[in-house]
Structure 1
Amino acid sequence: MLTTVLGVLSLAFASPAAAEWVRVETPHFVVFGQAGEKTTREMAAEFERFREAIARVMPAAKGASPVPTMVVVFRDQRSFAPFAPRFNDRPIKLDGYFQGTETDNTIALSLEKRESALRVVFHEYTHLVVAGAARGLPAWLNEGLAEYYSTFQLRDDGRGAITGRAILSHLQLLNTRTLLPLDELLSVERDSPLYNEGERRSVFYAQSWALVHMLMSGEPSLSEQLAQYVRVTAGGTPARDAWRQVFGSFDAIGLLKSYVRRETMQGFSFRFDERIRPAPAVTSAASPSEVEAVLGMLLRNIDPAEAETRLRRAAALSPPSALAHSMLGFVRADDAGADAEELLLRAAADRRDWLAQYYTAAGLAHLAAGSPLRPDARGIEAARSALGVVMQARPDLAHAHALMAYVADPEDAVLSAARARAMAPGRPDYVYLEAQLRSNLGEFATARALLAPLLTPSWSVDIRNRARTLMGQIVADEKAREDPPAPQTTTPPRASGDELQIDGLRPARTFAAYRELRAGESRLEGTLHRIECARSGAVTLQVRADGALQRFTATALREIDFITYRDDQRG
């Protein structure tokens, strides 16, 4: 479930510094609003009641989201456009969007087309819910369920709800296009061309929604069989094999063609034993610095340079804001900026805002996780103290416990990682974290047992590969402890500095050894940030080193040599 939502209602074009904003806090949301207390409270209440209703509809998904979620709501498309995702430097025409990271979630929408915008929000929210309730769902079912619940509407003043309402745009498309064959629909994965190609992607979404709708709301209802299908696929059975196992020779496409041509479609109505009441809310003034910082965070993955400009402007505004300093410090820590720790320590001194303390702790934990700018004892203690504030305010925030694992003493770190994993079983990174910590303490059998389930087909290839790599590392560590290698008589060449860190948890057994530079060559060691491909064929690599981005351009991709020292990477 959503743990925290920041909503920003931009209802004028004045700068944030000149506008009057309010901050409304409910049990699961933090809403920043420019539209006055009444409208801001209404928006917070709508999200709060949806959160409660969907938890009643899907009992398996009652757990809280492991990270805070920020929702930014604009009055119209004009005010929303500067913060919308871009393609070829132009805003994409959207009513809303969702972005998720391991640290937080962000939802942004325009109120100009409120119903379609909320459909986007509810669609993405359903993905969060489903991810916590059932893993490894086929793409068609994941998207079909999200579209089905995206039409959610509360009824009778919170005493009931309806979902599965007809989506006219989907019906129009399905009645004018050829439906995908069943095997093709069932086999689509997130890296499939069909999932990412414009018009065919629209057909995939529409047909996935229609098939879920027919199974759940058609007559007779096949919702029990669909639930069985979910269990079978979660156990690792491929989507097509699971379909044949559960539904047999059921002519789904033939029936679906008739279903989408019906004059009426029946939704699904819920009645609740208890009315969903408006959540209690506390209103306070929001400073211009806080509002500017929230808008800056919205741009992190859209325009990083503009995001940092806004965050620096927010941090410079008076009165000073702990939220602005924490968000700027968090972004600078992610970029290995030399000023990150100073900004985060400044934010840590003001313990009144748990959200500022969360970003403070996240930034300091990031620095502790293998960064060359590792915080000193003062920074570690500040992170622990900040997380104490967060856990007191939001005890169900799993990621706070995961962050504690990076800054706590070894024994306490294991307990924190285990707690995070138990609170959010859908987060495999918490499994990696606990397994590595237990391996560090010599608990190799427990570490292997934690990783073993991630090697099954019910998890994605990337997750299985990472689990396999870590499993091999743990096995090697165990063998090395049982049979330590003979001391070396010569020291191999290595880069200067401390030993490399894996996730900031233990020294690695690898080191950098480069060939001698040739005439006209230079060397830069850093992190590959982005690859840009021009229409001319030129390729530009953006490399982050020493806190700054540097660009290297070749006239063609063939002029660049990519070398890997991992045996699980090819191509």
Structure 2
Amino acid sequence: MLRRWISLVSFLMLPVVAAAAPAPEIIKMPGELERWVQVKADEFVIFSNAGKSKTKEIAEHLLRFRAALAKASKLPIHSPLPISVYAFKSTSAFAPYRDIILERRAKNVAGFFIHAWDGPLIVFDASGRWSAEHVIYHELTHAFIGNQGVSVPLWLREGAADFYAAFAIQDGSAKIGLPTGQIALLRKREWVPLAEVLAADSRSPLYTDAKRAPLFYAESWAMVHYLYADCPQRRGQLASYLEQLAAGRSDEQAFASAFGTGFDAFEKELKAYINGDAMQYLVLRGDQLGPINVDTPTALPHDEVLARLGYLLLEGSRASFPSAEAFLTQAFKFNPHNVTALTGLGIAREREGRIEEGWKLYQRALEFAPDDVRPDLHAAEALLDRLEKGNPPSRADAEFARDLLWRALKHSPNLALGWAALGRTYVLAGDKDTGAGVDALERCLALDAQDYAAARDLIVLCVRAGRIERAVEVNGRFLAACNDAAVVRTAHEALLQGNLDRAERLLAEGQLDDALAMAEQAVRTAHDWQAGNALVERAAALRDRVRTARQQIAAGRKPEETNER
């Protein structure tokens, strides 16, 4: 399934005591007289019942943050998919959606961010001060900077997100990197050794353990704050450090070469900065951000209000599904041409296993909005799911999915997930001609270096095409930080299969020394990677056959059946 980013929800604050999850029920639908407005501001689409003035203010704030992030990071900031923002006018309006989506009465959660497959969603309580802003800025930084096609260490990703999330507009200027509560934590707690922080990935206990993670985030933030706000010469050294990591040097080697010092000395330097009397932050004048122009929000018709809220509920838990379906069905009754309702109902039918009905709904949606990529993406997702389960996979399904994805990519060529899905059709359909699939997956990773499933699929296709060196390169560059054991295992087993196939060819060609070296390496790798029994046995059997062939030659006999598997 491609729905791999859905419901990865980030919270402003976890409640100290979580109440029991509410029983599944239908949320009360807004009445026809309840006013909701919408405004589009570049990739942001803001829906709100907080009034036109407040909605416009939220849109302006998001655009200023994006402009400040682009100016400060010196990176092209973009999102290939629309970012849907749901701003509720009050806590009482927000709470029913929050609780049913999160499956608990989460009173201390002021907002959350959903990484949905067809575009991020920001959902928050807009009453009073926008108290959810830090978590939303943090996740927006991930969403924007994650599209740079560059793989960076975990500490830098999280540290940069926290650094940029400390954002405020004061006296017409944007301030980035304002001191946060991280300082107090670092001043009173014993630090984790810097070497451990820099080496951490998403599988490390330092990151996954709830008790240790706060220090990881705090030290990562401190490192980025020092490099970005206080020590510009060190920031230049950071680029060298990343280049050396990409070239395969160890953390210790790359760090010493780039920064001209070791971990311990740099940690002392960093602690002195954190314990100092003052900390720097970045200030950007209003004119440096460029003009921020937002149109006046417009009123939404009642069917679109119901459809948008239903679509939001689809991205929640199982408990929110009945409400989602009820909202979408009612929206469809009001307006049978509503594209959001048709697409949402198509998704609902898919989840119920009624695939054909889902496709018909997607096709109807496309009739009314041919430039909307959502129906194409979801229809292609359903086909990919069927290809996954097919034995053998259907060639017709693969071709149909490709047609849908090409149509979506024509409208959104920077849609990384579209390229990933296109490449996956070649993996699942077993195509021998892998060129188009490889090109699609390379395009995906150039847009999103953290799509680990796409990296896995690229490895599979490269092995199938005999491009083992590229497969090894992709594994080292993109999968080192992947914490999805199934993704890593599939990639590793594909690499092992490729190396064993190559060793078989060398054996058949009589290149016994090279064949033995490769077979022995495969045995070690199969053990290190905890490969499946079949691969372990194949590697050991091949190694033994090569050894036997060498012994036969040494004894003056012709090797027997060296090409037998």
**TM-score under structure 2 length normalisation:** 0.68
Mapped contact 1:20–1:34 kept (Cα < 8 A): yes
Larger radius of gyration: 2
Other-structure match for 2:343: 326
Counterpart of 2:43 in structure 1: which amino acid? H
Secondary structure at 1:349's aligned position in 2?
Answer: helix
Mapped contact 1:153–1:162 kept (Cα < 8 A): yes
Other-structure match for 1:190: 202
Change (3 A) 1:312 1:253: same
For residues 416-435 of structure 1, what are the structure 2 equivalents within 5 Å?
Answer: 419-433=443-457
Counterpart of 2:407 in structure 1: which amino acid? G
Other-structure match for 1:163: 176
Other-structure match for 1:126: 141
Distance across 2 between alignment mates of 1:383 and 1:474: 27
Pick from 461, 474, 485 the counterpart of residue 454 of structure 1. Answer: 474
Counterpart of 2:61 in structure 1: which amino acid? E
Between stretches 99-108 and 365-374, larger displacement belongs to 365-374
Other-structure match for 2:229: 217
Secondary structure at 2:50's aligned position in 1?
Answer: coil
Mapped contact 1:293–1:314 kept (Cα < 8 A): yes
Pick from 147, 163, 178 the counterpart of residue 190 of structure 2. Answer: 178
Distance across 2 between alignment mates of 1:191 and 1:407: 29
Aligned-pair CA distance for 1:204: 2.5
Aligned-pair CA distance for 1:149: 0.9
Distance across 2 between alignment mates of 1:407 and 1:190: 28
Report whether the alignment pairs 1:309 with 2:309. no
Aligned-pair CA distance for 1:148: 0.9
Change (3 A) 1:148 1:357: same
- Provide, for residues 431-467 of structure 1, a one-character-per-residue CA deviation record: whole Å limited to 9, x for no partner: 5556666888xxx14x545533222166335565443
Other-structure match for 1:254: 268
Secondary structure at 1:73's aligned position in 2?
Answer: strand
Structure with higher strand content: 1
Distance across 2 between alignment mates of 1:421 and 1:415: 10
Pick from 49, 72, 75 the counterpart of residue 57 of structure 1. Answer: 72
Other-structure match for 1:110: 125
- Provide, for residues 14-60 of structure 1, a one-character-per-residue CA deviation record: whole Å limited to 9, x for no partner: 7335323233223322222223344333323332343343233334x
Other-structure match for 1:25: 40
Between stretches 315-324 and 266-275, larger displacement belongs to 266-275
Counterpart of 2:481 in structure 1: which amino acid? S
Mapped contact 1:45–1:279 kept (Cα < 8 A): yes
**TM-score under structure 1 length normalisation:** 0.67
Counterpart of 2:237 in structure 1: which amino acid? Q
Other-structure match for 1:149: 164
Mapped contact 2:80–2:414 kept (Cα < 8 A): yes
Mapped contact 2:139–2:161 kept (Cα < 8 A): yes
Other-structure match for 1:202: 214
Q: What's the C-alpha RMSD, in Å, of the aligned pairs?
A: 4.4
- Provide, for residues 87-107 of structure 1, a one-character-per-residue CA deviation record: whole Å limited to 9, x for no partner: 884427333333325543333
Change (3 A) 1:215 1:379: closer
Aligned-pair CA distance for 1:117: 1.8
Distance across 1 between alignment mates of 2:505 and 2:343: 41
For residues 404-553 of structure 1, what are the structure 2 equivalents within 5 Å?
Answer: 419-433=443-457, 444-445=465-466, 448=468, 450-456=470-476, 459-460=480-481, 462=484, 465-472=489-496
Counterpart of 1:319 in structure 2: which amino acid? N
Aligned-pair CA distance for 1:166: 0.9
Other-structure match for 1:544: none
Other-structure match for 2:247: 235
Distance across 2 between alignment mates of 1:372 and 1:412: 22
Counterpart of 1:104 in structure 2: which amino acid? G
Secondary structure at 1:175's aligned position in 2?
Answer: helix
Identity score, percent: 26
Aligned-pair CA distance for 1:381: 6.1
Secondary structure at 1:31's aligned position in 2?
Answer: strand
Structure 1 residue runs without a partner (length 5+): 1-12, 484-563
Counterpart of 2:166 in structure 1: which amino acid? T
Aligned-pair CA distance for 1:334: 5.2
Higher relative contact order (CA 8 A, sep 6+): 2
Secondary structure at 1:370's aligned position in 2?
Answer: helix
Change (3 A) 1:467 1:367: closer
Mapped contact 2:155–2:198 kept (Cα < 8 A): yes
Report whether the alignment pairs 1:286 with 2:289. no
